[in-house]
Chain A
C-alpha cells in the first residue's frame, strides 16, 4: 500500500516537471519564431521609414539614396510619394495599374489595408506621404483592435491559464497514474508476499498480465522448494527418531538383563563385573540415542522449548553442583565466578543445563591429564546479553579446527574426523544456544586452553 502511494507521488512529480519543461520549451521556441518573423531591419515599417528618410530633393526631382533603392529592388517593392495635393510626386517601379491621383478617402482606405491587393505601408514625408507596396500575396496585414481593459487583464489571464493547465495536467496524471497503479497493485502485493514466503495467486489481466503469470510461477516454484526442503528435513528427523525408537526396545532388554546379572547375588563375581560393563555401555548407548534424537530435533527446529525466565546465576550454581556431586577426579578443579546475581534469560532450563554440562564435559574429556576449569557468568547491559563462559587451561585445539567442532559428526562440512567422544556435545550446545536466540563461540589455540562462550539475550529484570 505504502509503495503504491509512493509510486503515484513520483508519477505526479514527473508529470508536473515534464509539463513545465514542455511549456517553457514551447514558449522559448515561439519567442524565437516571432523574433525571426518580424526582424527589425527587414520589417515593412522599417523599409518605409528608410525610404521616407532617404528621399531627398525638391518637387519634380526627388532622388532616393542608393541604399534604400537597393533595399526596394531586393524585395521587389515599389514606392511612391503622394504630395499634399493628392498627386503622385515621385515614384519607383510603380505598377501601371496603380492610380496616380488620390483623394483623402482613398488614402484613408489603403493606409489600413491594401492598395489594389498590394500590401502597402505609409510613412510621413515633408512633402506628403511615402507609400511602399510589397508584391501581391507576399504579406498579410492584420488590424488588432483591443479594449484597454482586456490588455490590462492579459497578465492575470495568462497566469490563470497557466494554473488551469497545471491543474488539468495534475488531474490527468492522477487519473492515468491511478489507473496504472490499479493494475500494478496486485503485482506489488504479490511481490511483497513472495518476499514473506507466502503463496501468491494473481489473476493475470490487463497490460501486465505477463508479469502476473511470472509472479505466480515464481511463487509456486518457491512454495514447491520450501515444501520439499521441509519434507526432507522432516524425513531426516523422523528417520533418526525412528531409528532411536527401534534401538530403545532391544536396548531395554540389554540394560535390564545386564542389570539383573550385575545385581544378582547368585552370579559369580567375575560375571557380575562383566555384566556391569555391559550395563555401563548400554547406558552410554542410551545417552547417545537420546542425544542424537535431541540434536536432530534441534537441527530441524522441531524441539518444543518450554521458555521461562531463568536466573543465570542459579543455573550456573546448579550445573556446577551437579557436576561436583557426580564426582569429579581430583585432577580437575572447577571454579565458579558469578559476576551478576540478578540477570535473567528466557529459556528452557533442562536444555540450558544440558548445554553447559556438555561444555564442562568437553573440557574434561579432552584433557585426560587434568586441568583447571572456570565457569563464569556475566551480564552485558550495553548489548542486553547474558554470557556463560566455560574455559580451561588445558591443551586446547588448533584455531583452524574450531569450526569443525560445531558441525555434526560425519557431516560433510566437517573437515577432519572426530577425535574422541561421540562428538555431539558441542554441536548440541551450539544448537541449544541458537534455539534460545543466541550463539556459541569457541576460542582456542594449541596449548592455550579452550574457551567456550554462550551468549543469550537477557530479559529485562524487574528489579
Chain B
C-alpha cells in the first residue's frame, strides 16, 4: 500500500529555492520520485494543468499572489488534496487555510519527519479510503489483546470486549504509557456532552481490568493516575 503512495505525483509551490530543494530532498529520501516544483502561482497553475499532480504543498506568500487565492484557482482545475506549508503561523491564517478546504496546515519551521508523516497521512486518507486500516493486536503480559476483533486471549480462555470497552481500550492504547485524562476517555466514549459519565467510566474500567489484568484489584497494566485519569502500561516493543 505504501508503495502505491510513493508513485503519487507531488507538487511543491514555494518561492524560496532552498526550502523547495530541502523539501524535495526529504521527500525523495522517503521514496517519492515524481516531484514537481513551482516558484509562483502561474507556474503552479500550468503544472497543475500539464501533469495533474495528486497532492500539492503550498506556501502562503508567493511573489504573484497568496496561497489562499491560488488554492481557490487550483480548485477549479483539480480536486487534489492540499497541504499548506507557511511561515504565517497566526491562528486566523490557519483557520482561513483549513476553511478554504486545505487538508493540513504546517507552520515553518517544521521538522522534516513531521511534514512527511502528515503528507503520507493525507495521501492515505484520500487515495486509499477503502482499505480499512487494521486495528492493532498486541501482547499484554501473558495475554494478547486484539483490538481488531475486540477479543482478549489468554492461554486457556477468550473474552470479548463490549463496544465501549473497545473504544476506551483503543484510546488508551493510542496513548500507551501516557496518562489519558478521564475527560478524554469519557469524550471518546460518549462524545462532547460527556458530563456525568465519570462513574460509568469507572465501572467500564473495572470490567476491562477483569478481562486484561491477572489481578484486577491490583492492576499492573491499566493503572489509575489519581485525580487525573488512567494509563495503559505497555512494555517496550
Q: Do A and B bind each other?
A: yes
Report A's interface with B, CB cutoff 8 A: 241, 244-246, 248-249, 251-257, 259-260, 263, 282, 286, 290, 293, 297, 303-304, 306, 311, 313-314, 317-318, 320-321, 324-325, 336-338, 341-342
Q: How far is the CB of A376 from chain B (nearest CB, A)?
A: 11
CB of B90 closer than 8 Å to a CB of A:
yes
Q: Which label, helix, strand, loop or mixed, suits the secondary structure of the B interface?
A: mixed
Contact assessment for A321 and B16 in the assembled complex, using a CB-CB cutoff below 8 Å: no
Chain B residue contacts of A249, Cβ below 8 A: 16, 19, 87, 108-109
Looking at the complex, which one of B22, B195, B198, B227 makes contact with A257 (CB distance below 8 Å)? B22
The residue of chain B having its C-beta at the shortest distance from the C-beta of A341 within the complex is: B198
Contact assessment for B108 and A311 in the assembled complex, using a CB-CB cutoff below 8 Å: no
24 contacts between A and B (CB under 8 A): A241-B90, A244-B89, A248-B87, A248-B108, A249-B19, A251-B108, A252-B19, A252-B87, A252-B110, A253-B18, A253-B22, A254-B109, A255-B110, A256-B26, A256-B109, A260-B26, A260-B112, A311-B195, A314-B183, A318-B181, A320-B227, A321-B179, A324-B225, A342-B195
Q: How far is the CB of A19 from chain B (nearest CB, A)?
A: 66
Contact assessment for A311 and B109 in the assembled complex, using a CB-CB cutoff below 8 Å: no
Beyond A246-B87, A338-B227, 7 additional pairs, beta carbon < 8 A: A251-B108, A256-B110, A259-B112, A260-B26, A321-B225, A324-B225, A337-B227
Contact assessment for B229 and A317 in the assembled complex, using a CB-CB cutoff below 8 Å: yes
Known: A253-B22, A324-B179. A282 touches B109 (CB 8 A): yes
CB of B180 closer than 8 Å to a CB of A:
yes
Q: How far is the CB of A463 from chain B (nearest CB, A)?
A: 9
Provide the bound-state CA to CA distance between A248 and B175, in Å. Answer: 31
The residue of chain B having its C-beta at the shortest distance from the C-beta of A313 within the complex is: B183
The residue of chain B having its C-beta at the shortest distance from the C-beta of A264 within the complex is: B29
CB of B160 closer than 8 Å to a CB of A:
no
Looking at the complex, which one of A241, A248, A259, A304 makes contact with B111 (CB distance below 8 Å)? A259
Q: Scoring B residues 166 to 180 as 1 if CB is less than 8 Å from chain A, else 0, what string do you get?
A: 000000000100111
Provide the bound-state CA to CA distance between A303 and B22, in Å. Answer: 32
Contact assessment for B181 and A317 in the assembled complex, using a CB-CB cutoff below 8 Å: yes
Provide the bound-state CA to CA distance between A259 and B198, in Å. Answer: 43
Which one of B175, B225, B228 has the highest number of Cβ atoms from chain A below 10 Å of its Cβ? Answer: B228
Contact assessment for A317 and B228 in the assembled complex, using a CB-CB cutoff below 8 Å: yes
Known: A252-B108, A256-B22, A304-B92. A321 touches B229 (CB 8 A): yes
The residue of chain A having its C-beta at the shortest distance from the C-beta of B227 within the complex is: A336
In chain B, residues 26-56, which have Cβ atoms closer than 8 Å to a Cβ of chain A? 26, 29
Contact assessment for A256 and B229 in the assembled complex, using a CB-CB cutoff below 8 Å: no
Q: How far is the CB of A347 from chain B (nearest CB, A)?
A: 14
Chain A residue contacts of B22, Cβ below 8 A: 252-253, 256-257
CB of B113 closer than 8 Å to a CB of A:
yes
Contact assessment for A317 and B227 in the assembled complex, using a CB-CB cutoff below 8 Å: yes
Q: Which label, helix, strand, loop or mixed, suits the secondary structure of the A interface?
A: helix
Provide the bound-state CA to CA distance between A306 and B95, in Å. Answer: 11
Provide the bound-state CA to CA distance between A253 and B108, in Å. Answer: 10
Known: A252-B110, A256-B112. A317 touches B89 (CB 8 A): no
Please list the 8 inter-chain residue pairs (A to B) with the smallest Cβ-Cβ separation, ordered nearest first. A248-B87, A314-B183, A251-B109, A321-B179, A252-B109, A248-B108, A317-B181, A325-B178
CB of B182 closer than 8 Å to a CB of A:
yes
In chain B, residues 84-112, which have Cβ atoms closer than 8 Å to a Cβ of chain A? 87-92, 107-112
Contact assessment for B108 and A314 in the assembled complex, using a CB-CB cutoff below 8 Å: no
Contact assessment for B87 and A320 in the assembled complex, using a CB-CB cutoff below 8 Å: no
The residue of chain A having its C-beta at the shortest distance from the C-beta of B226 within the complex is: A336
Which one of A246, A293, A320 has the highest number of Cβ atoms from chain B below 10 Å of its Cβ? Answer: A320
Known: A252-B22, A317-B182. A286 touches B228 (CB 8 A): no
Contact assessment for A321 and B228 in the assembled complex, using a CB-CB cutoff below 8 Å: yes
In chain B, residues 208-237, which have Cβ atoms closer than 8 Å to a Cβ of chain A? 225, 227-229
The residue of chain A having its C-beta at the shortest distance from the C-beta of B198 within the complex is: A341
Contact assessment for A286 and B109 in the assembled complex, using a CB-CB cutoff below 8 Å: yes
The residue of chain B having its C-beta at the shortest distance from the C-beta of A257 within the complex is: B22
Contact assessment for B109 and A317 in the assembled complex, using a CB-CB cutoff below 8 Å: no
Q: How far is the CB of A14 from chain B (nearest CB, A)?
A: 58
Q: Scoring B residues 106 to 139 as 1 if CB is less than 8 Å from chain A, else 0, what string do you get?
A: 0111111100000000000000000000000000
Provide the bound-state CA to CA distance between A338 and B107, in Å. Answer: 35
Provide the bound-state CA to CA distance between A12 and B21, in Å. Answer: 85
Provide the bound-state CA to CA distance between A391 and B161, in Å. Answer: 42
Chain A residue contacts of B229, Cβ below 8 A: 317, 321
Chain B residue contacts of A245, Cβ below 8 A: 87-88
The residue of chain A having its C-beta at the shortest distance from the C-beta of B22 within the complex is: A256
Provide the bound-state CA to CA distance between A324 and B19, in Å. Answer: 36
The residue of chain A having its C-beta at the shortest distance from the C-beta of B180 within the complex is: A321
